[in-house]
Structure 1
Amino acid sequence: MADSTGGPRSSDPDASRVRLQKVLSAAGVASRRVIEEYILSGRIEVNGQVVTELGTRVDPAVDHVSVDGVAVQLDTEKRYYMLNKPRGVVSSMRDEQGRPDLRTFTDALEDRVYNVGRLDAETSGLLVLTNDGELAHVLAHPSFGVEKTYIAKVRGKVTPQTLQRLKNGVDLDDGPIRADRARLLQAQGDAKHSIVELTLHSGRNRIVRRMLKAVGHPVVDLVRRQFGPLHLGTLASGRLRELSKAERGALLTLVRQAEAARARKD
Structure 2
Amino acid sequence: MIPPAFDYARPTSIEAAVRALAEGGEEAKVLAGGQSLLPVLRLRLTYPKLVLDVGRVPQLRGVREESDSIVVGAMTTHHDVLHDALVRRHAPLLAVTTETVGDPAVRHRGTLGGAVAHADPAGDLPSAVLALGGKLVAESPRGRRTIPAAEFFVGYLMTALEPDELLVEIWLPKLGTDWGFHYEKFHPSAQVSTVVGVAVAVRRENGGIAEASIGLTNMGATPLRAFATEAALAGSDATVEAVARAAEAAVEGTSPMSDLNASSEYRIHLAQVLTRRAVLAAAGVV
**Is the pair's TM-score, using the shorter chain for normalization, greater than 0.5?**
no
Larger RCO of the pair (alpha carbons < 8 Å, separation 6+): 1
TM-score scaled to structure 2, two decimals?
A: 0.23
TM-score calculated relative to the size of structure 1: 0.24
> Which structure has the larger Rg over C-alpha atoms?
1
